[in-house]
Structure 1
Amino acid sequence: MLKKYVYSVMGFMLISLQSIHAELPQDSRRPGGIAVIPLGQEIKNVRFNQQNILISNENTQRYAILGIPLNTPIGTLKLETNTQPIQIKIKPYAYAEQHINVKNQDYVNPSDAQLTRYANEAKVQNDVYSSFTPSTWQALPHFIRPTLGQFSNSFGRKRFFNGEERAPHSGLDIPAPIGQKVVAPADGIVVQTGDYFFNGKTVLIDHGQGLISMFCHLSKIEVKQGQHIRQGEVLGLVGKTGRVTGPHLHWGMSLNNARVDPQLFLRP
C-alpha cells in the first residue's frame, strides 16, 4: 500500500514518501541517494540544478525520481516545477572510509600529460551524464545485478590513496574473477565505450531520461557505441584495467547528472 504525506511549509510543497511500488527505486533521501516524489496531476515537469528530472508513471500515479549528488549538504532541497516548487529534506548518512595502497604512482600523482588525458576523458563522460534523452518506457523498469558477486558496500566511501584523500567513491564495487560476464541491468543504448586512464575499459548505457549506467575496469568490451542492448545481454567481462588493486566490476549509476547508489535500483 502506498502511503504518502503532503505538507505545506513556507509556501512550498514538502513531500515525504514512506513506502513505494516495488518497481520504483528505493527512496533514500541522503547525499548519493534517491528521492521518489509523488506528483499531482497539475505538475508536468520537474527540474533541479537546471537538469530535467526523470518522471515515471505507475498506473494512475506519476513520480519524479531525483538523484541526489554526493556533495549535497544536509538540509532542504528545492525543485522547480511548472507550478509551485517542491521541497525535500536531505538527511545525514555515515559513509565509511577506505584506505587503499596503490603501487603505481601514476594513479596517485599523475603527470601533466596523464591529467590532460583524464580531463579529456572526463569531459566526454560528463557530456553523457548531463544528457537527457526520451525513454521508451512509461514506468521505470526494474534493474537486475550486472554480475555475480557479493557487494562491497563501497559506494560513497571517503577514499585515501597511499594516505592522500581523494573524492568519495561514486560507484559500487563487485569483486569477481577476471572473465566473468557482465550484463546490462536494464534495456538501453550503449552511448560510450573506451579504455580510460582511471576507469580502464568502460561501457556506458543510456536508459532514458538522464539515467545512465557505467561499468568500469573490464577486461573485454562486447558491445559497440550506438548498440541497443536488452536487459541480461552481455556487455563485457570483469577485469582489472585502470586504477585497481584487484579484479572487480565498478558499477556506477548517474541520475540527472548525480552519482547515486546503484543498490537503490534493486529490489530489497
Structure 2
Amino acid sequence: MRLLISLFLGFISLWGIDGYNGKSIIITLPSPAGVVSMNELNVSVLSHPLDPTKGIVFLPIDYYTPSGDINLTWISPGKITPLTLNVQSAPYPIETLSVDPALVSPPPEALERIARERAEAMAIYGHFTPIRYWNKPFIKPIESIITSEYGSARTYNGSLKSYHGGVDFRAKTPTPILASNDGIVVLTEERYYSGGTIIIDHGEGLYTCYFHLSRFDVNVGDYVKQGQPIALSGASGRITGPHLHFGIMVHGIQADPLDLLAQIDQLFQTAKISQ
C-alpha cells in the first residue's frame, strides 16, 4: 500500500496538475486527510464520495489567475508533499450586450444596496459547512439551450464591465427550476443585478446559484433534494431577456459550473469502473 501511495505521489509530483483560469479542479489523493495549500488558501482534503480510503480536494482557480505554475503543498499527518499546478489560459469568448443604462452605471442611490448585497453574498460563499449534503452527481437545473457560456468577457453598452460568472439557459417565463443537488437553502432574495436569487449550500464549501427568478418555491433553511422544483424562471435583474443564470462557487471563488459538474460526475464513473 505504501508503495502504491509513493508511486501515485511521485507521478503527480513529476508531471504536475493541469488546470485553466476560472475552471476549478478536483484532485484525487490516496488519502482523505490534511489540507492542500495554494498561495494563501488552505483547502481541506475531503473523503471520496464512493471510496472512503481516497481523498478529494476542490481546488478553486480564479478567473484572473495568470498562466504559469503554482506551487501546491499537501500537508497530511506526518507528511508534506509538494505538487505543481500548471494554469493555462482558457479561450473564453467575448460578448456584446445592450441593457438598461441604469444597470451598467447604477444611480448613486443604488450603490449602497449593491455593496450590501455583494458583502452578504461573499459572507455566504466564504462559510465552510463541515457537512456534505450530496451523495450523487449534480444535475443541470433546467434542460434547455445554453445562450451564454461561462467566462465570456462582457461588454455592456460598449463598455467592458465583467466576465460571465455562470451559464445562461434559455428559459421562458415561467419555467420550473430544479435544485442541482441536495442541500440547504441559504438565500432567497430579490437583488439588484441578479434579480430573484436562490443560493443552495451543498456543504464543504460548495454552493449553487440560481438568478433572474420570478418566484421562489422554497425558503431559507429548507432542505432540498436533487431535482426538487425550487423556483420559476423569470426576467429580473440585469438581463437582456428571460433566462436562468446558473452558477457555482468553490470556497468563495466562481467556477465554470458545467465543467465542475462533469468532474464530479467523473468521480462516480471512475469509482464504478474500478469496482
TM-score range, shorter chain: 0.7 to 0.9
How many Å separate the matches in 2 of 1:30 and 1:6? Answer: 22
Count of paired positions = 250
Partner of residue 63 from structure 1, selected from 52, 56, 69: 56
The residue that corresponds to 1:126 in the other structure is: 122
State the alpha-carbon separation in 2 of the partners of residues 61 and 216 from structure 1: 35
Confirm whether residue 116 of structure 1 aligns to residue 112 of structure 2: yes
Q: Distance in 1 between matches of 2:45 and 2:239?
A: 32
* Corresponding residue of 2:131: 135
Amino acid at match of 1:204: I
Q: Which runs of 5+ in 2 are unaligned?
A: 1-6, 267-275
Alignment of 1:58-97 (within 5 A): 58-59=50-51, 60-82=53-75, 83-97=80-94
TM-score, normalisation: structure 2: 0.83
Q: CA deviation at 1:29?
A: 1.3
- In structure 2, how many angstroms separate the alpha carbons of the residues matched to 1:5 and 1:162? 51
Q: TM-score, normalising length from structure 1? A: 0.85
Separation in 2, partners of 1:124, 1:162: 28
Residue 38 of structure 1: aligned partner: 28
Instruction: Kindly provide the CA deviation profile for residues 38-92 of structure 1, in whole angstroms up to 9, marking residues without a partner as x.
Output: 2243852224443534624141322212121111111122334322343211112
Counterpart-to-counterpart distance in 1, 2:21 and 2:140 = 22
What is the match of residue 24 of structure 1?
none
Q: Distance in 2 between matches of 1:42 and 1:121?
A: 36
- Which residue type is aligned with residue 46 of structure 2? I
8 Å contact from structure 1 (residues 53, 210) kept in 2: no
Deviation at 1:184, TM superposition (A): 0.4
Structure 1 runs of 4+ aligned residues shifted over 4 Å read 4-9
1:257 to 240, 252, 260: 252
What CA RMSD, in Å, does the superposition of the two structures yield over aligned residues? Answer: 2.3
The CA distance in 2 between the partners of 1:218 and 1:119, in whole Å, is 21
For the 8 Å contact 2:186–2:200, the answer to whether it is kept is: yes
**C-alpha contact 1:148 1:176 (8 A) present in aligned 2:** no
- Indicate if the aligned counterparts of 1:130 and 1:210 stay in contact, CA closer than 8 A: yes
Tell me if structure 1 keeps the 8 A contact 2:35–2:42. no
Q: How does 1:1-268 map to 2 (within 5 A)?
A: 6-7=9-10, 15-16=16-17, 29-41=19-31, 43-48=33-38, 49-53=40-44, 55-57=46-48, 58-59=50-51, 60-82=53-75, 83-102=80-99, 104-136=100-132, 141-264=136-259, 265-266=261-262, 267=265
Q: Quick check: which one's helix share is greater?
A: 2
Using the TM superposition, name which of 37-46 and 83-92 deviates more.
Answer: 37-46
